[in-house]
Amino acid sequence: MMLSQIAMALGFSLILLGLYGALTNRDIIRMIVSFTIASTGVNVVLVSVGYLPGRSAPILDEAVPVAEAATRITDPVPQALVLTAIVIGLGVTALMLAYAYRLFRARGSLDISDFTELKW
Amino acid sequence: MTAFPNFEWVQIAYALLTLFIVINYGMVMTAVVRKIGARVGGRYGIPVWQNYVDLLKNIALRSKISHGVMYYLGPVFRLTGGVGLLMFVPTIYGSEWHQNFSYAGDLILALYFVFFGTLGMALGAGESGHPHSAIGVSRGLAQVTMAELPLALGVFALSLQYQTLDITEIVAAQQGSIFNWTVFTNPLATVAAMVAFVGTMMRSPFDVAMAPQEIPIGPPTEYHSSYLALMQTNRVLFPVAKTVIYMNLFFGGATSWAEFAIKVFCLYMISVVIGVVHPRFRVEQSIRFFLKWGLPIGVLSILVV
Amino acid sequence: MVSPLLILAAGLGAAFILGLLRGTSERPAFYVTIAALAAMSFVALSWVVGLVLGQTQPVEILTAGARPPFAINLFMGGAEAALISVVTLTGLLSAFYMRADLMRLGRRAMAVLLVLIMALSGLILTRDLFNLFVFIELIVIATAGLVLLSKDTRALAAGFKYLIVSQVISILLLVGVIFTYHAHGSLNIDDIAATPMAFTGASLATFLVLIALVLELKPFPANGWALDIYESAHPGFSALFSAASGTAALFAADKLFTAAGPAWLPLATGVGIVTFVGANLLALSQSHDRRLLGYSSVGQIGLVLLVVGQKALLGADFAYVAGGIVISHAVAKAGLFWLSGMVKGRTLSDWAALCQNPALVVAFATFIAMLTGLPPFPAFYAKWVLVHEFAATGQLPMLAIFLIAALIEAGVLFRWFGKAIKHDAQRSLTYHLSRETIVLIAMLAGWGLGWVWGALSDQGNVMTALPLLFALLFLPMDILPARVKNAIAMAGLVVWFVISYQDLDPLRLVFMIIMMLGGAVLFLASFHHQGRRMGFYAPAMIMYAGMALLLEAFTAFQFFAAWEMLTIGSYFLILRGKESEPHALSYILFSLGGAFALLAGFALAAQGQRIFWIEDLSELTGTLAPWVFVLLALGFLTKTAAMGLHIWLPGAHAEAETDVSPMVSGILLKAGLFGLFVLVMEMGHQRLYGVDLTHLLVWLGALSAFIGAVLAAFQEDAKRLLAYSSISQMGYAVFGLALMNHLGWLLAMMFAINHFVYKSMLFLAVGGVKERTHTRLMYQMGGLITLMPLSFVSVLVGIIAMSGVPPLSGFGGRWIFYNAIMSTDLRLPMVLVFMAGPVGFLYLFRLIHTIFLGQPKDNLRQVKEAPFWIILPQMLFVAFLIAFAALPGMILQRVDRYIGTLFGDQPLVWSGRIVNSAYGTWNPVAIWGVIIVVFVTVLGLLIWMNHNAQRVKQFNIVFSAERPFKPQTTHFAWNFFAPYRKAMGFLETPVSTSFWTGVTNALHGTAEFSRKLYTGNGQTYAVHLLLFVIAVYLISMGASS
Per-residue pLDDT reduced to its tens digit, C198-255: 544 457 888 999 999 999 999 988 999 999 999 999 999 999 999 999 999 999 999 9
Tell me: cis bond preceding C376? Omega within 30 of 0 counts. yes
Q: B residues 107-136 near C, CB within 8 Å?
A: 107-109, 112-113, 115-116, 119, 122-123, 126-132, 134-135
pLDDT tens-digit map of B130-149? 988 899 899 988 998 889 89
CA distance C864 to chain B (A): 18
| CA pair distance A11, B41, nearest whole angstrom | 115
- The answer on pLDDT for C942 being more than 90 is yes
User: In this structure, are residues C253 and C217 in contact, taking their beta carbons and an 8 Å threshold?
Assistant: yes
**DSSP per position, B145-192:** HHHHHHHHHHHHHHHHHHT---HHHHHHHT-SSGGGSHHHH-HHHHHH
Residues of A in contact with C224 (CB under 8 A): 119
B223 → chain C, closest CA residue: C957
- The answer on pLDDT for B1 being more than 50 is no
| CA pair distance C517, C495, nearest whole angstrom | 10
Contacts of B208 (CB under 8 A, 6+ apart): B139, B143, B280, B281, B282, B283, B286
| CA pair distance C383, C317, nearest whole angstrom | 12
Sign of the alpha-carbon torsion through A68, A70, A74, A78: positive
User: In this structure, are residues C39 and C93 in contact, taking their beta carbons and an 8 Å threshold?
Assistant: no
User: In this structure, are residues B18 and B98 in contact, taking their beta carbons and an 8 Å threshold?
Assistant: yes
From the number of C-beta atoms within 10 Å of its C-beta (0-12, 13-18, 19+), residue B304 rates as exposed
Do the chains contact at A35 and C167, CB–CB below 8 Å? Answer: yes
| A39, A78, A99 ranked by CB distance to C160: nearest | A99
Q: Return the C-alpha torsion angle C1018, C1024, C1030, C1033, nearest 10.
A: -110
Other C-beta atoms lying within 10 Å of the C-beta of residue A7: 16
Best of C137, C167, C186, C1011 to substitute, by most chain A Cβ atoms within 10 angstroms, is C167
pLDDT tens-digit map of C842-869? 999 999 999 999 999 999 999 999 999 9
Write down the pLDDT at residue C1022.
93
Do the chains contact at C980 and B113, CB–CB below 8 Å? Answer: no
Best of C848, C909, C934, C974 to substitute, by most chain B Cβ atoms within 10 angstroms, is C934
Do the chains contact at C178 and A45, CB–CB below 8 Å? Answer: yes
Say how many residues make up chain C: 1041
Angle between helices C107-125 and C78-97 (to 10 degrees): 170
Mean pLDDT, range C919-943, rounded to an integer? 93
Do the chains contact at B215 and C949, CB–CB below 8 Å? Answer: no
CA distance C285 to chain A (A): 9
Mean pLDDT, range B189-206, rounded to an integer? 91
C1020 → chain A, closest CA residue: A23
Mean pLDDT, range B188-207, rounded to an integer? 91
The candidate with the shortest Cα–Cα distance to C672, out of C638, C722, C628, is C638
| CA pair distance C834, C836, nearest whole angstrom | 5
Write down the pLDDT at residue B264.
95
Q: Does B87 touch chain C (CB under 8 A)?
A: yes
CA distance C827 to chain B (A): 7
C292 → chain A, closest CA residue: A120
* Cα-based distances in Å from C316 to C60, C321, C385: 22, 10, 11
| CA pair distance B78, B55, nearest whole angstrom | 16
| CA pair distance C879, B13, nearest whole angstrom | 33
Backbone angles phi and psi of B201, in degrees to 5: -85, 5
| C160, C177, C1012 ranked by CB distance to A115: nearest | C160
Residues of B in contact with C796 (CB under 8 A): 123
* Cα-based distances in Å from C638 to C169, C625, C676, C737: 47, 20, 11, 16
CA distance C201 to chain A (A): 18
| CA pair distance B230, B226, nearest whole angstrom | 6
Can you give the pTM of this predicted structure? 0.94
Other C-beta atoms lying within 10 Å of the C-beta of residue A87: 12
Q: B residues 64-83 near C, CB within 8 Å?
A: 64-70, 72-73, 75-77, 79-80, 83
Verify A-B touch: 3 or more CB pairs within 8 A.
Answer: no
The candidate with the shortest Cα–Cα distance to C331, out of C242, C257, C454, is C242
Beta-strand pair C691-692/C687-688: antiparallel
Q: Read off the amino acid at residue B81.
A: G
Question: pLDDT confidence of C826, banded at 50, 70, 90?
Answer: confident
Domains along chain A? 2-114 (1.10.287.3510)
Do the chains contact at A119 and C228, CB–CB below 8 Å? Answer: yes
The end-to-end CA distance of chain C, in Å, is: 49
Q: Return the C-alpha torsion angle B252, B256, B257, B262, nearest 10.
A: -40
Question: pLDDT confidence of C25, banded at 50, 70, 90?
Answer: confident
| CA pair distance C7, C11, nearest whole angstrom | 6
Write down the pLDDT at residue C676.
95
Question: pLDDT confidence of C1039, banded at 50, 70, 90?
Answer: confident
- The answer on pLDDT for B214 being more than 60 is no
CA distance C134 to chain A (A): 8
| A42, A77, A91 ranked by CB distance to C171: nearest | A42
| B3, B215, B302 ranked by CB distance to C827: nearest | B302
Beta-strand pair B65-66/C950-951: parallel
| A100, A106, A112 ranked by CB distance to C153: nearest | A106
C966 → chain B, closest CA residue: B129
User: In this structure, are residues C989 and C189 in contact, taking their beta carbons and an 8 Å threshold?
Assistant: no
ipTM surpassing 0.90? yes
Question: pLDDT confidence of C927, banded at 50, 70, 90?
Answer: very high
Do the chains contact at C849 and B129, CB–CB below 8 Å? Answer: no
Neighbours of chain A (3+ CB pairs under 8 A): C
Mean pLDDT, range C328-349, rounded to an integer? 94
Write down the pLDDT at residue B212.
58
Mean pLDDT, range B216-238, rounded to an integer? 88
Do the chains contact at A46 and C232, CB–CB below 8 Å? Answer: no
CA distance C526 to chain B (A): 31
Q: Return the C-alpha torsion angle C314, C319, C320, C323, nearest 10.
A: 130
Do the chains contact at C228 and A49, CB–CB below 8 Å? Answer: no
Residues of C in contact with B299 (CB under 8 A): 828, 831
Write down the pLDDT at residue C245.
95
Residues of C in contact with A102 (CB under 8 A): 156
Residues of C in contact with A81 (CB under 8 A): 130, 177-178, 181
pLDDT tens-digit map of C554-609? 999 999 999 999 999 999 999 999 999 999 999 999 999 999 999 999 999 998 88
A102 → chain C, closest CA residue: C156
Do the chains contact at C983 and B166, CB–CB below 8 Å? Answer: no
Task: Report the mean per-residue pLDDT for chain C.
Answer: 92
SS3 C365: helix
CA distance C794 to chain B (A): 14
Write down the pLDDT at residue C199.
47
pLDDT tens-digit map of C619-641? 888 888 999 999 999 999 999 99
Do the chains contact at C164 and A35, CB–CB below 8 Å? Answer: yes
| C145, C156, C1019 ranked by CB distance to A106: nearest | C156
The candidate with the shortest Cα–Cα distance to C88, out of C117, C54, C119, is C117
Do the chains contact at A118 and C231, CB–CB below 8 Å? Answer: yes
Backbone angles phi and psi of C319, in degrees to 5: -60, -40
C162 → chain A, closest CA residue: A96
Do the chains contact at C1015 and A31, CB–CB below 8 Å? Answer: no
Q: Read off the amino acid at residue B285.
A: Q
Neighbours of chain C (3+ CB pairs under 8 A): A, B
Other C-beta atoms lying within 10 Å of the C-beta of residue C172: 23
Best of B58, B78, B109, B282 to substitute, by most chain C Cβ atoms within 10 angstroms, is B109
| CA pair distance C372, C410, nearest whole angstrom | 6
Contacts of B194 (CB under 8 A, 6+ apart): B246, B250, B270
Write down the pLDDT at residue A17.
95
Sign of the alpha-carbon torsion through C375, C381, C387, C391: positive
User: In this structure, are residues B93 and B254 in contact, taking their beta carbons and an 8 Å threshold?
Assistant: yes
The end-to-end CA distance of chain B, in Å, is: 36
- The answer on pLDDT for A64 being more than 80 is no
Q: Which range (B146-150, C19-23, C362-366, C981-985) has the least confidence?
A: C19-23
The end-to-end CA distance of chain A, in Å, is: 50
Residues of C in contact with A37 (CB under 8 A): none
From the number of C-beta atoms within 10 Å of its C-beta (0-12, 13-18, 19+), residue B166 rates as buried
Q: Three-state SS string across C212-281, please?
A: HHHHHCCCCCCCHHHHHHHHHCCHHHHHHHHHHHHHHHHHHHHHHHHHHCHHHHHHHHHHHHHHHHHHHH
- The answer on pLDDT for B2 being more than 80 is no
Do the chains contact at A31 and C1019, CB–CB below 8 Å? Answer: yes
| CA pair distance B6, B13, nearest whole angstrom | 15
CA distance C116 to chain A (A): 15
User: In this structure, are residues B302 and C827 in contact, taking their beta carbons and an 8 Å threshold?
Assistant: yes
For chain C, give the percent of residues with pLDDT over 90.
Answer: 79
Do the chains contact at A103 and C168, CB–CB below 8 Å? Answer: no
Angle between helices C5-20 and C107-125 (to 10 degrees): 160
| C231, C1012, C1023 ranked by CB distance to A23: nearest | C1023
Write down the pLDDT at residue C428.
87
pLDDT tens-digit map of C710-763? 999 999 999 999 999 999 999 999 999 999 999 999 999 999 999 999 999 999
| B63, B215, B230 ranked by CB distance to C942: nearest | B230
| CA pair distance C232, C222, nearest whole angstrom | 18
